[in-house]
């Protein structure tokens, strides 16, 4: 696996890349991409870091693993490539965005514009085999991304962490809530959205926190 990652993140995470556990993970990922169809494409595995620089980081959204359908995943959680039909969870994200901020639903499901403003759209597993959700879980990615969350919480100040669903909420133990804002809501999937996702107003609440702390608000 080629570690194609933005320089500020590479310097920040070099000690993670040097660990034997990550080297083992890299061998697994290399084998998988050579012998199966996997997503996202290799150059986009670290896209969440490449699009959101460490210096600009203001918000962290935690997902689980990439979309496993052809042409969907672009390396950012909940996001899809341009011209791809919005998956159900993303549709509900946009519905809440429309309700919260009175914004029109975007034509494209590509969330890279959020990332460029400082939103780290981090899946806890960064790769997946085609048509097999969860196929790359428990291979080492979670250890790596848990350490990313822990270190970001330690090194940065006054971030907003958006934890949608029980899986993302399990990461709350990695976050220092004394210096960061943590917002919790049900997962935006059709199964959980009606239990409190709709009406959570996480987009406006995030911007309120950023403004209060003299940071530029996100143009969602």
Of 18, 65, 82, 146, the active-site residue reads 65
CA 54 vs CA 6, 26, 57, 159: distances in Å: 9, 22, 5, 12
CA distance 57 to 116: 9
> 3-class DSSP state for residue 128?
strand
Torsion angle of alpha carbons 181, 182, 184, 188, nearest 10°?
90
CA distance 76 to 137: 17
* CA max distance for the chain: 50
Residue 65 among the catalytic residues? yes
Tokens of 25: 């993970």
User: Which secondary structure element, helix H or strand E, spans residue 90, and what is its range?
Assistant: helix 88-101
CB crowding 155-167: b at 16 or more within 10 Å, else e: eeeebbbbbbbee
Tokens of 42: 């290799």
Residues with catalytic function? 65
């Amino acid at each position: 696996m080629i570690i194609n990652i933005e320089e500020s993140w590479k310097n920040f995470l070099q000690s993670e890349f040097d660990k034997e556990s990550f080297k083992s993970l890299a061998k697994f990922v290399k084998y998988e991409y050579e012998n199966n169809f996997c997503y996202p494409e290799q150059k986009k595995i670290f896209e969440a870091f490449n699009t959101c620089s460490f210096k600009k980081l203001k918000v962290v959204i935690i997902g689980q693993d990439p979309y496993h359908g052809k042409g969907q995943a672009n390396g950012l959680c909940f996001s899809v490539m341009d011209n791809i039909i919005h998956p159900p969870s993303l549709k509900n994200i946009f519905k809440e965005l429309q309700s919260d901020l009175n914004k029109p639903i975007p034509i494209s499901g590509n969330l890279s514009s959020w990332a460029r403003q400082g939103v780290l759209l981090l899946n806890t597993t960064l790769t997946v085999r085609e048509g097999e959700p969860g196929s790359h879980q428990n291979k080492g990615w979670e250890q790596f991304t848990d350490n990313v969350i822990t270190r970001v919480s330690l090194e940065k100040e006054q971030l907003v962490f958006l934890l949608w669903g029980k899986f993302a909420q399990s990461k709350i133990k990695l976050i220092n809530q004394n210096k960061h804002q943590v917002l919790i809501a049900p997962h935006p999937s059709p199964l959980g959205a009606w239990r409190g996702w709709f009406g959570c107003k996480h987009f406006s609440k995030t911007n309120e926190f950023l403004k209060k702390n003299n940071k530029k608000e996100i143009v969602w």
